[in-house]
């Protein structure tokens, strides 16, 4: 049982480059979220999805796009990377917030 | 809007001593509350959760938390800390739209 799988684990980008962080879950969860983690700020919600074809913005959505074409996958796209997007990114999934979310192992992104 | 406050950024305790990590939340209805732990370089692991019933909940690794509605608090406790408990701890509240809102985290250091 793989749970939530994030790729890549590490990435270095140059300012202005684009890339996609991949997230896949095999638990048939409807709810998926992307967070970024920065020191002293906890985890901040970027985008979330309540099911295939439905996404919405979280607390810090600027500079990021998402789509949810299948239940399993929820990729996060950085359109034009900026140094302020240097962070650790976590994907999470759940079938109900009442039982909490399962988190992936994270992607550490550095933008230079 | 839902929010979570963890007043202590860092806490240091001696091995074998008791531990209490504070968490205060803001939420209009009966909240879903969670504690997660993150070891260095790792993802988040769910320690325990509360959504109804007994206000004292037991979790993994010997942790417990008490929900106090009158104080809007959900403090995490452990009677005797082990060196392996050194990590960052996050309190979270379940929000509308099945989202999770996190506090800024508390870093626990254990001294021998």
Task: List pLDDT tens digits, range A22-68.
Answer: 999 999 999 999 999 998 889 999 999 999 999 999 999 999 999 99
Where residue B28 falls among pLDDT bands split at 50, 70, 90? Answer: confident
Residue of A nearest to B47 (CA): A100
Where residue A1 falls among pLDDT bands split at 50, 70, 90? Answer: low
Are B36 and B89 within 8 A, CB to CB? yes
State which of A1-10, B6-15, B29-38, B40-49 shows the largest mean pLDDT. Answer: B6-15
Are A18 and A85 within 8 A, CB to CB? no
Which of A88, A97, A103 to mutate to test binding with chain B, by most B CBs within 10 Å of its CB? Answer: A97
Average pLDDT estimate for A5-31: 97
Round to whole Å and give the CA distance between A66 and A49. Answer: 9
Q: CB A15: neighbour CB atoms within 10 A? A: 11
Q: Which residues, in sequence order, are bridge partners of residue B8?
A: none
The pLDDT value recorded for residue A105 is 94
Using a CB-CB cut-off of 8 Å, the residues of chain A touching B95 are 97
Asked if B42's CB is within 8 angstroms of A40's CB, the reply is no
In this predicted structure, the answer to whether residue A2 has a pLDDT above a threshold of 80 is no
- Residue A38 CB contacts under 8 Å (≥ 6 apart), including other chains: A44, A87, A88
Where residue B83 falls among pLDDT bands split at 50, 70, 90? Answer: very high
Are A47 and A35 within 8 A, CB to CB? no
Residue of A nearest to B10 (CA): A40
A41, A98, A103 member nearest B32 (Cβ):
A98
Using a CB-CB cut-off of 8 Å, the residues of chain B touching A31 are 98
């Amino acid at each position: 049982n793989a749970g939530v799988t994030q790729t890549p684990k590490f990435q270095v980008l140059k300012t202005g480059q684009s890339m996609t962080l991949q997230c896949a879950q095999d638990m048939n969860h409807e709810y998926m979220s992307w967070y970024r983690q920065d020191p002293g700020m906890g985890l901040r919600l970027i985008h979330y999805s309540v099911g295939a074809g439905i996404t919405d913005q979280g607390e810090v959505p600027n500079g990021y796009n998402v789509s949810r074409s299948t239940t399993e996958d929820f990729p996060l796209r950085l359109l034009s990377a900026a140094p302020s997007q240097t962070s650790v990114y976590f994907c999470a999934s759940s079938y109900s917030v009442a039982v909490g979310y399962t988190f992936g192992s994270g992607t550490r992104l550095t933008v230079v | 809007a839902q929010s979570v406050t963890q007043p202590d950024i860092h806490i240091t305790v001696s091995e074998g001593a008791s531990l209490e990590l504070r968490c205060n939340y803001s939420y209009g209805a009966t909240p879903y509350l969670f504690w997660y732990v993150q070891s260095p370089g790792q993802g988040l692991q769910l320690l325990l959760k509360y959504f109804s019933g007994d206000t004292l909940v037991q979790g993994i690794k010997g942790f417990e938390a008490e929900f106090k509605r009158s104080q809007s608090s959900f403090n995490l406790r452990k009677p005797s800390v082990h060196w392996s408990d050194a990590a960052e701890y996050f309190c979270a509240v379940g929000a509308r739209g099945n989202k999770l809102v996190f506090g800024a985290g508390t870093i626990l250091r254990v001294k021998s």
